Amino acid sequence: MSVVFDFFKYIIDLGVSVMMPIIITILGVIFGRKLSVSFKAGLTVGIGFIGINVMAGVMMNAITPVTKALVERYNFSLTATDIGWGIGSSIAWGTPVVPFVFIAIIVTNVLMLMFNLTKTMDVDIWNYWQPLFIASALYLTTGSMILAVASAVINMAIIFKLADMTQKDVSDVLGLEGISLPALQTTGWAVLGYPMNWLLDRIPGINKINWTTENVQKRLGIFGEPMMMGLVIGGLLAAVAGMPLSDILTTAVSIAASLVLIPRMVSLLMDGLIVISEAAQEFMEKRFEGREIYIGLDAALGIGHPFVLSLGLLMIPITLVLAFILPGNKTLPLADLTALPFYMIFAILPSKGNLFRGVITGIFIATITLYISGIAAPIMTGLAADIGYQIPGEATEITSLAVGTQWYSWIVYYLLSLLS
């Protein structure tokens, strides 16, 4: 097993822009495409991911100083510092549960596909860190490898089903044909997003408010276009943070560029993925008549739509305010504020892009995330200490909004911990 794990770890350590072309090429050959066709599709996907990462980096580099300035200017004083999903993922990949949980997730997916319990074939190996984190937390607190593995199997079985159920909207609204999003911190919120949209549909007056990208663009003209929305949102955030004029202008242009270029990079990536998606469909039809297969990929594809990015940016100041006013909250949101578009996809997708409903649902998501992040802080701090991570001097505890967004996996955590 260690040889298998070492091989996968080597591939994962290469990074998503190298890992995904290798995976896509292998899948293409398995599904009957020529090596040259599969390799070209894989390389296209890799280039698309590089483009997305570059533009996401531009957006995060522009917005991170703004979030820090907002925190400093409005004197947020909370005890659990959000150090970001990057540290959370490195903690998850550094614990003893990794090889066992890794294999268990793959076996779970394969068995569910074989018995027609899911249509999602999850190739988003990097984001296995999400169930790995909860499994690591269980192992830390109970010492049981069996419970740790069981948590990953349960959490991923649920997310595969949710990915199936939401795929139609992912395809129709986000334009990701044949793609599903099996990410705990993203699609897990569909459980809240769809009921909230159903409820808002039945409230007189509220059900008439429809701030879609198209409606906003129609009413605002040029100022409703993605680039102008990014310019205005980025500039306003920087201005509210009290930044100098030069920084306000730089932030505004950088966010505008992100809202224009990220969707184009997603489109490039989809050019490669469609080859594998079609090959998978043909492969399954030959062996299982009538079966449909979705390719499970990173939620980065979902943030390519302008209304998702816009909502994520709008939620930055809202989340900061919530952190300050929510009674009993101890989470200081910081590093993961720039990742809010990932967490807000299913705040706005159920309403087909209604920004008003997205903000309402987003407030609920942000509230739950802040509280869960605070509850998870002692566990994340303990895991970090176990792998030798140095806690920042100004932080009493460390946490991550990403860990807080994995909401239902914490229910699984507490239920299984009762069995220890």
Pairwise pLDDT comparison (56 vs 268), residue with the higher score: 268
Which tens digits make up the pLDDT trace of 180-202? 999 999 999 999 999 999 999 99
Mean pLDDT of 279-292: 76
What integer best gives the mean pLDDT of the chain? 85
Pairwise pLDDT comparison (341 vs 63), residue with the higher score: 341
pLDDT category, 221, cuts 50, 70, 90?
low
In three-state form (DSSP H/G/I as H, E/B as E, the rest C), the secondary structure along the chain is CHHHHHHHHHHHHCCHHHHHHHHHHHHHHHCCCCHHHHHHHHHHHHHHHHHHHHHHHHHHHHHHHHHHHHHHHCCCCCCEEECCHHHHHHHHCCCCCHHHHHHHHHHHHHHHHHCCCCCEEECCHHHHHHHHHHHHHHHHHHCCHHHHHHHHHHHHHHHHHHHHHHHHHHHHCCCCCCEECCCHHHHCCHHHHHHHHHHHCCCCCHHHCCCCHHHHHHHHHHHHCHHHHHHHHHHHHHHHCCCCHHHHHHHHHHHHHHHHHHHHHHHHHHHHHHHHHHHHHHHHHHHCCCCCCEEECCHHHHHHCHHHHHHHHHHHHHHHHHHHHCCCCCEECCHHHHHHHHHCHHHHHHHCCCHHHHHHHHHHHHHHHHHHHHHHHHHHHHHHHHCCCCCCCCCCEEECHHHHHCHHHHHHHHHHHCCC
What pLDDT sits at residue 356?
93
Report the predicted TM-score, pTM, of the whole model to 2 decimal places: 0.81
What pLDDT sits at residue 218?
61
